Amino acid sequence: MKKIISLSLAIIILFSVALCTPVIASVTYIDAVGEYTCETESVFVFKAPETGWYAIGSYNNIDPVLEVEFKDAATEVFDNLKNSAEFSAYLFLEEGEQINCKFDTYAEDEVVNFSIKKVEEAITTDYTAESGSVFYFTADHDDYYQFSSSNSGECDPYLVLQLPDGSYEAFDDENGYDFLGELYIKKGETVFFSVNDYGAADVNFKIDCDCSEYPLTGFATGVEYHVPSGTQFTFKAVLEGLYVFESIGDKDTYFEYTRNKMFTYSFDDTDYENNKLGFSATVYLTPGEEIRCFVSESNGEDVAFTYHRLSVCKHKAKKWVDYKSATAFDSGVKTQVCKECSYIFNYKAVPQLTPETPVARAVNTLGGVSVSWNKIDGAVKYAVYRRASGEKNWTRIKTTTSSTFLDKTAKNNTTYYYSARAFNVTGDYSVYDSVKTAKIKCVSTPELTKISNATTGIRVEWAKVTGATGYRVYRREDGVEYWTCIGTTKSLKYTDTSVKSKNGTVYTYTIRAVNGGDSGFDAEGLYTKRLSDPVMKSAVSGKTGVTVKWGAVNGAQSYYVYRKTANSSWVRLATVKGVNNVTFVDKTAKKGVTYTYTAKAVDGKNISAYSSTISCKDKY
C-alpha cells in the first residue's frame, strides 16, 4: 500500500542543498522499502534496514529531480538518467546508514511519486520475479551476456538496463511478447536492471554467458556442425564475400545475427509450403567484420548447420539490376543480379530515408554540448557521431530515439564535429555524409561564486574557465523572463553600476565564457536585492551614550550598526529593525574614547556594502 508523506506529520527543519538556497522543509523518516508520495521540495531521511544496494526511482511525474546527501556530507544529484522525465538512483548503503534526500521538480508537480526497492544480486541462471523487481549483475570475466525472457500467454515483459557508464538501454520487443538482448560487459563491471511487465505479471527471465568454445575466426567452410540449441557465438569474416548459413535436416531451427551491436536479423521457416522448417541466412561481410550469432531449435534439440562463402562479383555496385524471382529471407533483404556475370547478390538495402541526416546545430549549454538534427520520416532511432579536431576517425557516442542529444563528455577548450545517421525499423541506415556536420568549440559554463552589493552597484563573481578570452555578463530584473547582456570583461568579477540607485529591486545575473564561441549559462543565476550603502548623518555624544543617525535605504528591513576605534577592527553592535528606524544609541561607549561608526542596509540575505563613516569622542 502506498504510504503518503503528510505535511501535518512532518518536522520542520532547515535543510541546505546545492541546487537551492536553504529552505524550511517538511521531513519524514523512512526505514522500509515501498512506494511513497512526497511533497515537492520536502525532505525525507532513509535509514537502510540492511546492508546492500537500494534503488530509489520516480514514476508518474513530469520532470522530477532527487538530491542525496550521504553521511560524509557528499552530495549527488539524480536527474533524467533514462533520457526521459523520470530518474533512478542506485545506492550501496550499510545497515543503519542514513541518507538525506530532497525532491524537486522542473515542472509544476506538487508531489513526487517514488519507490525504494532492495536490489537483488543476479547470476547467470533462470529467474521468476515480480514485475518491477530490480537486480544488479557483476561480470566475472569479459564476455557477451544475453538477457532474455520466456513468458507465455498475454504477458508482455521488458527490461531496462543501466550500463556502467550511467547510460540506459531498454530490451523490449514491440512486435512480440518477450525481450531478447545482449551486452558486452568487462570483468568486474556492474550493471543494474529492472524487469517489468506491461500487465504487471511476473517475469520469467534468464541471463546467459556466451562462453563460446568457438574461435572468433568462425568455422571451416562447408563443414557440418552440431551445437546445443541456444548456442551463441561470434563469427568473424576473414575475407570479403557473401556468407550463407544453412540448417541441415528437417528440424524446426532458427538463426539470428546482430550487426554493429545494434540491430538483429532473424531467419526461420524458409519454405512453409514444403514444411522445411530450417533456416537459410545470407549476409555480406567485409574483411574482419564480426557478427553475433544465435541458433536454436523449437524442441530444444541440437542444431545442425553449415556455412559457405560466395566469391565477390568484380562488377559489384556497377551493373546491378533487380532480380525479381529471388526470395527475400528477411524483411529489408533485397536481391540483385549482375548483368555481366549473372552473379546473384542478396544485400541489406540502404533505406530511402534521405541522402543524409545533417546535424542542424550544436550549441554549448550548462550540461555540455547540445546536438540536434532534423527528424527523418521512417526513422525509429538515430546514431550520433563525434570527432575531435585533429582526429581522423568518427566515434559513435550515442543511439537515441530523440532528435536531440546532450554530450556531457565533451571537454572544455576542445573543438568537436558532430554528425548523425537515421535508422529504420529493420536496421537500415541513411547514407553518412561527413561534410555536413556541425562544428563547435566546447566552452564550459562559468561557475557563479558570489554576488554582493557594492558602493557603486551590484558585484557578481565567477570561477575561471580555461581558455576563455573574455566573459559576457547578463542581467534579468525580477519579473522579467528574458536576459539582457549588460557588458563584457576579461576579469572574473563585474560590477553593474547602472543599478547603483535602484534600491529595493531584485536583480539576477549569469555569465557566459567566450572562446571562439559562447558557453552555455546557468539559467538559475545568482540574485540579490539592490541596497545602497546607508549615508551616515551624525554621531553625537550624550549622557546616555553616543547617538548615531543615518539615512534610510529604500527596500531595507533593518540595519547592522558597526563600531571601531583606532586600535580595533569593526565590531557589529546591533541590528536595528525597520526601514525608517535610522537611529541607534551606543550605551557602551566609554568617556574619552573616539569611536568610528558605520552601517549596512539589510533585507534577509540581501546586505549592502559598508556605509560612509562618522566619528565621535564620548564626553560623558
Domain boundary among 396, 421, 442: 442
Q: Based on the fold, state whether residues 170 and 140 are members of the same structural domain.
A: yes
Q: Is the pLDDT of residue 24 over 50?
A: no
Q: Based on the fold, state whether residues 174 and 109 are members of the same structural domain.
A: no
Domain that holds residue 147: 123-209
Q: Is the pLDDT of residue 311 over 80?
A: no
Q: Based on the fold, state whether residues 14 and 113 are members of the same structural domain.
A: yes
| Per-residue confidence (pLDDT) for residue 218, from 0 to 100 | 58
| Per-residue confidence (pLDDT) for residue 39, from 0 to 100 | 79
pLDDT in tens, 68-112: 888 877 888 887 644 456 788 899 999 999 999 888 777 666 788
Q: What are phi and psi of 404, to 5 degrees?
A: -140, 155
Question: Domain tally for the chain?
Answer: 5
Task: Please indicate, yes or no, if residue 511 is contained in any of the structural domains.
Answer: yes
pLDDT in tens, 135-188: 999 988 777 788 888 876 668 888 888 887 777 778 877 556 778 777 778 888
pLDDT in tens, 229-282: 888 888 888 777 778 888 888 888 888 887 766 566 777 765 555 556 788 887
DSSP 570: -
CA angle (567, 570, 574) in 5-degree steps: 130
Flag the least confident range among 145-149, 206-210, 248-252, 529-533: 206-210
CA 466 to CA 488: how far, in whole Å? 17
Of 617, 597, 605, 603, nearest in space to 535 by CA = 597
Q: Based on the fold, state whether residues 114 and 136 are members of the same structural domain.
A: no
Q: Based on the fold, state whether residues 29 and 55 are members of the same structural domain.
A: yes
Asked if 196 and 160 touch (Cβ cutoff 8 Å), the reply is: yes
Q: Is the pLDDT of residue 522 over 90?
A: yes
Q: Identify the band that residue 555 occupies on the pLDDT scale cut at 50, 70 and 90.
A: very high
Stretch 482-487: mean pLDDT, rounded? 93
SS3 state of residue 612? coil
Domain boundary among 83, 118, 153: 118
Q: Based on the fold, state whether residues 90 and 141 are members of the same structural domain.
A: no
| Percent of the residues in the chain that have a pLDDT greater than 90, as a whole number | 36
| Residue at 304: amino acid letter | A
| Per-residue confidence (pLDDT) for residue 443, from 0 to 100 | 96
Q: Based on the fold, state whether residues 427 and 455 are members of the same structural domain.
A: no
Q: Is the pLDDT of residue 12 over 50?
A: no
Task: Please indicate, yes or no, if residue 460 is contained in any of the structural domains.
Answer: yes
Pairwise pLDDT comparison (242 vs 481), residue with the higher score: 481
Task: Please indicate, yes or no, if residue 239 is contained in any of the structural domains.
Answer: no
Neighbours of 447 (CB within 10 A): 11
Task: Please indicate, yes or no, if residue 336 is contained in any of the structural domains.
Answer: no
Pairwise pLDDT comparison (110 vs 336), residue with the higher score: 110
| Per-residue confidence (pLDDT) for residue 3, from 0 to 100 | 38
DSSP string of 12-80? EEEE--SSS--EEEEEEEE-S-EEEEEETT-EEEEE-SSSEEEEEEE-S-SSEEEEEE-TTS-EEEE--
Q: Identify the band that residue 341 occupies on the pLDDT scale cut at 50, 70 and 90.
A: low
Q: Based on the fold, state whether residues 462 and 435 are members of the same structural domain.
A: no
Domain boundary among 513, 529, 545: 529
CA 20 to CA 609: how far, in whole Å? 24
* CATH number assigned to the domain comprising residue 150: 2.60.120.380
Q: Based on the fold, state whether residues 558 and 595 are members of the same structural domain.
A: yes
Q: Based on the fold, state whether residues 525 and 541 are members of the same structural domain.
A: no
Q: Based on the fold, state whether residues 105 and 44 are members of the same structural domain.
A: yes
Q: Is the pLDDT of residue 320 over 60?
A: no
Summary mean pLDDT of the chain: 80
* CATH number assigned to the domain comprising residue 417: 2.60.40.10
Flag the least confident range among 25-34, 505-514, 580-589: 25-34
Task: Please indicate, yes or no, if residue 11 is contained in any of the structural domains.
Answer: yes
Q: Identify the band that residue 26 occupies on the pLDDT scale cut at 50, 70 and 90.
A: low
SS3 state of residue 8? helix
Of 453, 459, 449, 463, nearest in space to 412 by CA = 463
| Per-residue confidence (pLDDT) for residue 448, from 0 to 100 | 96
Task: Please indicate, yes or no, if residue 427 is contained in any of the structural domains.
Answer: yes
Q: Reading across the β-sheet that carries 333-338, which strands appear in turn? A: 320-322, 333-338, 344-348
Q: Based on the fold, state whether residues 405 and 454 are members of the same structural domain.
A: no
